[in-house]
C-alpha cells in the first residue's frame, strides 16, 4: 500500500521523470499534488503497470489532483547539460507549472538540486512508496510515450512506437544502418559497443 504523504501538515508535490535511459527523445517529468485523502488501489509505480492501466489512471490523476504539471527537456539540452542535470531541470520545469505552490517536494531517486527555497526529500524507488510520486510517474511516462509515438510517425524506421527511444537491439540496428535523427542524444553511446561516440 502506497503512502499518501510524508508530511501531513504541508502541501506536498511528488515528482518523477521518464526517459532518462533513452537514446532518443526529450526527458519528461511531472509534478503532482494530491489531496491528502486521495486513494486509488490501482496506482503504483508506472513500471509496474500495463500501458492500458497507465492511460486509464491518467485522467483520474488529472481530475482529482489539486495541481499537476509536466516539464520537458529537449535532446539538445540533454547533450549540453547531461542527463542527470536534464532530469532535474525537467522536474523544476514541472514544478514551475503547478497552479498551487507546494511547501515540500517528494523527489523520486537520490539526486536533486534545490528548487528555490522549497525543502525536498529524495526517496529511492519513491514511485513504489508514495502516491504523489507514483502519480507523477504515470503522467511523465504517458505524456512521453505520446510524444515518442508522434516522433515515430516522422521516423518510423527506429521502432519508437514500441521501444519509446530505449536502447533495444532493433533501435540500435536502425541507428547503425540509417544513422541518427535530430532527436537522438548524440552524447550517448548509441551503438552500445563500448565506443565513446559515433563519427558524424
The bridge status of strand 120-123 relative to strand 104-108 is: parallel
State pLDDT tens for residues 145-189: 999 999 999 999 999 999 999 999 999 999 999 999 999 999 999
DSSP annotation of 3 reads B
Q: What is the DSSP string of 99-146?
A: SS--SEEEEESS----BTTB-EEEETTGGGTBHHHHHHHHHHHHHHHH
pLDDT tens, residue by residue, 115-152: 999 999 999 999 999 999 999 999 999 999 999 999 99
pTM: 0.94
Which letter does DSSP use for residue 167 in this model?
-
Amino acid at each position: 500500500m502506497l503512502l499518501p504523504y510524508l508530511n501531513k501538515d504541508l502541501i506536498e508535490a511528488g515528482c518523477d521523470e521518464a526517459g532518462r535511459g533513452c537514446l532518443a527523445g526529450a526527458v519528461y517529468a511531472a509534478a503532482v499534488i494530491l489531496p491528502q485523502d486521495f486513494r486509488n488501489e490501482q496506482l503504483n509505480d508506472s513500471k509496474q503497470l500495463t500501458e492500458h492501466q497507465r492511460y486509464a489512471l491518467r485522467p483520474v490523476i488529472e481530475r482529482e489532483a489539486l495541481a499537476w504539471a509536466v516539464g520537458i527537456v529537449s535532446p539538445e539540452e540533454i547533450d549540453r547539460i547531461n542527463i542527470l542535470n536534464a532530469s532535474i531541470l525537467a522536474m523544476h520545469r514541472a514544478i514551475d507549472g503547478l497552479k498551487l505552490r507546494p511547501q515540500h517536494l517528494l523527489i523520486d531517486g537520490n539526486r536533486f538540486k534545490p528548487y528555490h527555497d522549497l525543502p525536498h526529500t529524495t526517496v529511492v524507488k519513491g514511485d513504489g512508496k508514495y502516491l504523489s510520486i507514483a502519480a507523477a510517474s504515470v503522467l511523465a511516462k504517458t505524456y512521453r510515450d505520446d510524444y515518442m509515438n508522434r516522433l515515430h510517425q516522422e521516423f518510423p524506421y527506429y521502432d519508437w512506437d514500441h521501444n519509446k527511444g530505449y536502447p533495444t537491439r532493433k533501435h540500435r540496428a536502425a541507428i547503425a544502418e540509417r544513422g541518427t535523427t535530430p532527436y537522438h542524444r548524440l552524447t550517448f553511446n548509441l551503438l552500445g559497443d563500448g565506443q565513446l561516440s559515433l563519427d558524424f
